[in-house]
């Protein structure tokens, strides 16, 4: 059981999950109309795919100020990576309903990229709290595009936070929280996907593999004492079921 694992062993398993899931992690940037400034980081998110369409799932508050930008881009980052433009409008749920947003992408631009969206047929986990559940979230905090804002070349570093389940979030119907061992507040992690390593479901560590990790929610905020608040996977799934078709209808 998880009780037999040391902190270092848990962290090592978390690294394996991050390696598996990081190609679907998005960093969201805004570029000003006059293109005179480096792109501003808006937040993080997760690339998801439904049929032939690709989307970015994030938190609504990440996109609330998007209208001040002429272009908004996203990518998984890395030295010399290019940012890709979003497609059309976005759909969002208010904070009281879950603080979620979905934006479509130009899928044809991803063919030569390192991005691998998460297929929505992949099962979402349940966030019924378990005292031994360990959660992980990854994003691109505190990063600025370099001096070629419209060319889109920039450097980012993927950061990961992980920790045990804590109390329910401020809105127990929609959110949950988990405790992060390193009490650092990263600006730009909002909207990141949260994964449950599902270590607690295994009788022994030999039974565990990174593929057992499940999507458990979307990070809303980093609060005091290392607690992170996230929207529950059950709420995210409900949001996606209607939002995807709403976006498609707008494109048509």
How many domains does the structure of the chain reveal?
Answer: 1
pLDDT above 70 coverage of the chain, percent: 72
Distances (CA, A) of 196 to 62, 107, 126: 23, 28, 9
* Whether pLDDT at 54 is above 80: yes
Residue 66, φ and ψ in degrees, nearest 5 = -65, -20
> Secondary structure of the chain: what % helix, strand, coil (to 5)?
25, 35, 40
Count of beta carbons in the 10 Å neighbourhood of residue 223 = 13
The pLDDT score that the predictor gives to residue 146 is 43
Predicted local distance difference test score (pLDDT) of residue 181:
67
Residue span of the structural domain in which 219 resides? 2-251
Interval 66-83: pLDDT, tens = 777 766 766 555 445 556
pLDDT of residue 182: 61
Confidence of residue 149 (pLDDT cuts 50, 70, 90): very low
218 pLDDT more than 70: yes
DSSP annotation of 140: -
Residue 96's pLDDT is 81
Query: What confidence score (pLDDT) does residue 195 get?
Result: 92
Is pLDDT of 128 > 70? no
Rg of the chain over Cα atoms, rounded to whole angstroms, equals 17
Q: What is the CATH number of the domain that holds 14?
A: 2.40.10.120
- Digit-coded pLDDT (tens) for 16-50: 999 999 888 888 877 777 766 667 778 889 999 99
What per-residue confidence (pLDDT) applies to 170? 62
Contact present, 214 and 237 (Cβ < 8 Å): no
Contact 44, 82 (CB under 8 A): no
């Amino acid at each position: 059981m998880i009780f037999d694992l040391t902190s270092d062993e848990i962290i090592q398993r978390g690294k394996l999950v991050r390696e598996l899931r990081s190609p679907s992690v998005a960093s969201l940037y805004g570029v000003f109309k006059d293109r005179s400034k480096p792109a501003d980081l808006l937040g993080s998110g997760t690339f998801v795919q439904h049929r032939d369409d690709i989307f970015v799932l994030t938190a609504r508050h990440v996109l609330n100020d998007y209208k001040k930008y002429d272009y908004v881009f996203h990518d998984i980052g890395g030295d010399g990576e290019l940012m890709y433009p979003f497609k059309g409008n976005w759909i969002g749920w208010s904070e009281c309903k879950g603080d979620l947003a979905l934006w479509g992408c130009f899928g044809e631009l991803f063919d030569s990229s390192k991005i691998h969206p998460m297929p929505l047929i992949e099962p979402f986990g349940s966030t019924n709290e378990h005292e031994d559940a360990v959660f992980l979230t990854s994003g691109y905090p505190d990063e600025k595009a370099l001096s070629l804002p419209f060319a889109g070349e920039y450097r980012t570093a993927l950061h990961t936070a992980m920790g045990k389940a804590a109390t329910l979030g401020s809105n127990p119907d929609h959110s949950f929280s988990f405790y992060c061992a390193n009490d650092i507040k990263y600006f730009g992690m909002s909207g990141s996907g949260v994964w449950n390593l599902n270590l607690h479901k295994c009788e022994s560590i030999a039974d565990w593999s990174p593929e057992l990790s499940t999507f458990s929610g979307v990070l809303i905020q980093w609060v005091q004492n290392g607690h992170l608040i996230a929207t529950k996977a059950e709420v995210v799934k409900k949001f996606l079921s209607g939002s995807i078709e709403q976006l498609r209808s707008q494109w048509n």
